[in-house]
Amino acid sequence: MYVAVKGGEKAIRNAHTLLARDRRGDTSLPALTLAQMTQQLYLSISRVMAEGSLYDADLAALAIKQARGDLIEAIFLLRAYRTTLPRFGYSQPIDTATMLIRRRISATYKDLPGGQLLGPTFDYTQRLLDFTLAANGEEAPATPQTQAFEAQERVPRVTELLDDEGLMEPDAELPEDHEVGDLTREPLEFPAGRDLRLQNLARGDEGFLLALGYSTQRGYGRTHPFAGEIRLGEVEVSLFVEELGFDVPLGEMTVTECQMINQFAGSAKAPPQFTRGYGLVPGQGERKVMAMSLVDRSLRWQELGEEATSPAQDEEFVMSHSDNVQGTGFVEHLKLPHYVDFQAELDLIRRLRAEWFEKNQKTTGETADLEAAQ
């Protein structure tokens, strides 16, 4: 039961002033600029854009600054902001084969056409703290080396290489008249199609998906994964504008994509072949796309005639708990006043205790009488 109470306006106002002061910190230090953040903290920006489900690096930077670096709070701010904007439409599906590639690796083919391009990666670093970054007057980084390259309009995906032999399952198509599900328009209902699942995972919490993906590797719904291909780069986004009758280019967007290849022994529904889990996020988010593709594959158990035994295969469990804004809302609402609720609980517990003691005393009394009689 909720009872409206008033009060605390002054306390709230003063708390917000305190928050603003603490957010700014020592004013003898220069304030962070959004440009500094988009340039130097791009992976935080990426995470906020992916889970805030809004591609706009400057807004993500503003949100992180306002949230004092609390990324989930920043994600919440982006989600709130997007509700104030009108929808112009749905883009044409982006084509990651035409990506301007900045990183592309495969754990399944050493000699994939185009080669293994490491790009800007933490892999192969020693994970030793670099104290030169802590020193004032950090030196300008070395100019990256360059090398001649082959011009390629389209970089084929690794999964296309196995397609010819029928060893790789083809990408699932949905019927022509299938309207692509949109979580921002229609409330979630189960069972959900793969389109809704992918949308849900793409905006899901990275930590949650990482834990679920990890659980599948440790044996909870094992899927024998290989990182078929991971790529990072820029793709063109275009929108069909009815007045013009063609797809109008809107600019380029950074995305990270992962194709996870999974062994599959075959079932009554499908022959033995490699199956796939898919991951795609805006910005640069390699851990997230890898985890996403593991969970995407796990959630496909029904379609492939597998047995569901593990949390990562439970669509309702995964999709209902992947959203950290929803999770935050429900967990954090517990700190709001529940005075009346609690008062009722208190009364109940007092009554139950009284009843319990009364009953126990009676029983103890009866036992004593019985013993005395014997």
Partner 1 sequence: MTSSQGTSPRGAPSTGEPSARRTAMATLANATIADLEARLAAHPLPQEHTIIRQPEIGLVMVRGRAGGTGAPFNLCEATVTRCVVALPDGTTGFGQCLGRDKHKALLCAALDAYWQQEPLQEAIESEILAPLRNIETKRKEQTKAEVAATKVDFFTMVRGE
Partner 2 sequence: MASANLEFSLAKAPAPGLQNPVHEAQGIFRALMNALARPGKLQDLPELDLNPPAPLGKSTAAIALCLCDYDTPIWLDKELAAAKDVTTYLRFHTGASFTNNPMDAAFAFVSKPENMPPLSAFAKGTSEYPDRSTTIVLSVSSLSHGQTVKLSGPGIKKEQGFAATPLPPQFWREMQTNNELYPLGVDVLLAAEGTVAGLPRSTKITFQES
Kind of pairing between the strands at 225-241 and 100-105: antiparallel
Q: CB-wise, 55 or 220, nearer to partner 2?
A: 55
By CB under 8 A, is residue 34 in contact with partner 1? no
Residues that bind partner 2 (CB under 8 A): 86-89, 185, 242-244
Q: CB-wise, 30 or 89, nearer to partner 2?
A: 89
By CB under 8 A, is residue 318 in contact with partner 1? no
C-alpha closest to that of 77 among 62, 89, 88, 58: 62
CB of 251 to partner 1, least distance (A): 4
By CB under 8 A, is residue 96 in contact with partner 1? yes
CB of 237 to partner 2, least distance (A): 17
CB of 98 to partner 1, least distance (A): 11
From partner 2, partner 1, none, which one binds at residue 96 (CB under 5 to 8 Å depending on kind)? partner 1
From partner 2, partner 1, none, which one binds at residue 191 (CB under 5 to 8 Å depending on kind)? none
By CB under 8 A, is residue 205 in contact with partner 1? no
User: Are the C-beta atoms of 321 and 201 separated by less than 8 Å?
Assistant: no
User: Are the C-beta atoms of 298 and 313 separated by less than 8 Å?
Assistant: yes
Among 239, 270, 304, 308, binds partner 1 (CB under 8 A): 239
How many residues bind partner 1 (CB under 8 A)? The answer is: 89
Contact pattern from residue 272 through residue 291 relative to partner 1, giving x for each residue in contact according to CB under 8 A and a dash for the rest: ----x-x-xxx---------
User: Are the C-beta atoms of 295 and 217 separated by less than 8 Å?
Assistant: no
Judged by CB under 8 A, the chain residues 169 through 198 that form the site for partner 1 are 170-174, 176, 178-186, 194-196, 198
Cα four-point dihedral sign 211, 212, 216, 221 = positive
The torsion angles phi and psi of 296, rounded to 5 degrees, stand at -55, -45
Q: How far apart are CA 285 and CA 290, in angstroms?
A: 9
Instruction: For residue 159, count CB atoms less than 10 angstroms from its CB and return exposed for 0-12, middle for 13-18, buried for 19 or more.
Output: buried
C-alpha 358: how far from its chain's center? 53
Q: How far apart are CA 33 and CA 25, in angstroms?
A: 14
